[in-house]
Chain A
Amino acid sequence: MKKIYLDYAATTPVSEKVYEKMNPFFSDCYGNPSSLHSQGRKAKEAVEKTRKNIKNKLNAKKHKLVFTSGGTESNNLAIKGLAYKNPSKKHIITTKIEHDCVLNTCKWLEKQGYEITYLSVDEEGFVNLEELEKNIKKETLLVSIIHANNEIGTIQDLKKISQICHQKGTILHSDACQSFTKVPIDVIEEDIDLLTINAHKIYGPKGVGALLIKDYLNVEPLFHGGHHEEGIRSGTLNVSGIVGFGEAINEISLKNIEHMTKLRNKMIKELKNIKDVRINGSLEKRLCNNINVTFKDAEGESIVLHLDNRGIFASTGSACSSNTLKSSHVLSAIGLKQEDSHGSVRFSLGKETTEEDIDYVITNIKETISLLREMNPL
């Protein structure tokens, strides 16, 4: 049976090139970058070269880059780290469509006495800039806004957002796990204070990420230990992972982006031909590989399992598949009714996806949906 993976937003494979780059750092060049001897220095050199390359990619001339265990840690470090360092400011602004690792960090801080403002978004998933401006006050420590949303792919205008934040004297953090290398980011031009990125969405290994921090900003470490990463993130560096991360930033080329955009548009067009279908998220400012669709009168988990049975791997944020039974907070935020967010599925493309894949997927979606709709009693 054909196997078509369309869940690249969840994670990507490690590319062959990345794998080969990482390989020597397991059993050959295995030194600890903190060691003085040449084995250690070699590892350190590889880490520092990677740090420089990633910073260059983002034009991070005025930022330090701290390696972490991934997006979750980077987001925690940005938000809690800043909060611990500035105990007098007890207000944080974020949005209703953040990844759980930002939302739950904020919810936790709420329990510690912080005031959190969760900005609403419009039906395409864009933050209301006036609402943002209105809500920034003297005590606002930080604004944290996801760059490209992981469920619906909507891309926020970080430049406009940072202008507002800085005019009103607060700091901007953005979670760019989904957009990094797919959408150009220039942290100077867009004036972003803290930026979260990770490796496993861009053909790098899982468990590696980074946080960019403006030079003059300080964050309190989450882990205390042996002073690695200027004391901000202790723990022996994940050298092979970091090297893989550094290689992965070159995996998605402009050509790949054009290719994915073309296939995404094709798939959206063909999905719209199915009866009672809604495409969620912005059609213009959208991740090149994201498709989020609601099928009325069919349920997401059932759709995903039927597709899985036909060799197609997609994902659902619907109630019945998650472990909480709550429907997607992102789809609720863009105004979907509970029963509609139930029939929602996310397809996310990779650079390997072909036109034939899309044809095969569309055929199977049509069959699955009509099968499930036939079962619907209403």
Chain B
Amino acid sequence: MVEYSKKVMDNFFRPKNMGEIKEADGVGKVGNKVCGDIMYIYIKVEKKENKEYIKEIKFKTLGCAAAIATSSIITEIAKGKTIEDAKKITKEDVAEQLGGLPPIKMHCSNLSS
């Protein structure tokens, strides 16, 4: 069994923003060829001063603990950001926020970037 940080486990057991947005403005779908895990991210966008902000964000994921924790944290990071800024989030940002991921699990954070 690989070892996870406390932050990963917290996000795995108590994921933030889990669920679906019924009338989403956008749905991001990613699958992972390595292991067959799947993540959907739903967003609702709001326009303010000519910029588009992520007003609401939710996820649904079928996958390992790292995939679920990653999904949870990405929604936390992206929430409230402009679409432009959200696009700049990298898998390293996600892994850092999670207190690191085991090397073999770095691909799980790929799901999110």
Known: A323-B104, A342-B36, A375-B18. A301 touches B64 (CB 8 A): yes
Given the complex of chains A and B, what is the CA–CA distance between A297 and B63 in angstroms? 9
Given the complex of chains A and B, what is the CA–CA distance between A298 and B63 in angstroms? 7
A342-B35 in contact (CB<8A):
yes
In the complex, chain B residues 73-101 whose Cβ is within 8 Å of any chain A Cβ:
none
A325-B62 in contact (CB<8A):
no
Partner of B38, one of A301, A325, A377: A377
B68-A375 in contact (CB<8A):
yes
Known: A305-B12, A309-B13, A375-B18. A321 touches B64 (CB 8 A): yes
In the complex, chain A residues 303-351 whose Cβ is within 8 Å of any chain B Cβ:
305-306, 309, 319-321, 323, 325, 338-339, 342
13 contacts between A and B (CB under 8 A): A301-B1, A309-B13, A319-B35, A320-B67, A323-B2, A325-B35, A342-B36, A376-B38, A376-B61, A376-B62, A377-B20, A377-B39, A377-B60
- Residues of chain A whose beta carbon lies under 8 Å from any beta carbon of chain B: 297-299, 301-302, 305-306, 309, 319-321, 323, 325, 338-339, 342, 372, 375-378
Most chain B CB inside 10 Å of its own CB: which residue of A298, A299, A309, A320: A320
Known: A302-B12, A321-B1. A375 touches B64 (CB 8 A): no
Known: A320-B63, A377-B39, A378-B62. A325 touches B34 (CB 8 A): yes
Tell yes or no: B54 within 8 A of A by CB.
no
Which residues on the B side are within 8 Å of A301 (C-beta)?
1, 64-65
Which residues on the A side are within 8 Å of B12 (C-beta)?
302, 305
A320-B38 in contact (CB<8A):
no
Tell yes or no: B37 within 8 A of A by CB.
yes
- Residues of chain B whose beta carbon lies under 8 Å from any beta carbon of chain A: 1-2, 9, 12-13, 15, 18, 20, 29, 34-40, 60-68, 104
Q: Which chain B residue shows the least CB distance to A338?
A: B36
Most chain B CB inside 10 Å of its own CB: which residue of A338, A372, A377, A378: A377
B64-A299 in contact (CB<8A):
yes
Most chain B CB inside 10 Å of its own CB: which residue of A297, A305, A375, A376: A375
A302-B64 in contact (CB<8A):
yes
Partner of B62, one of A299, A319, A323: A299
* Apart from A299-B62, A301-B65, A320-B63, 4 more pairs, CB < 8 Å: A298-B62, A339-B36, A377-B29, A377-B40
Given the complex of chains A and B, what is the CA–CA distance between A325 and B64 in angstroms? 11
Give the Cβ gap from A268 to chain B, nearest Cβ, in Å: 25
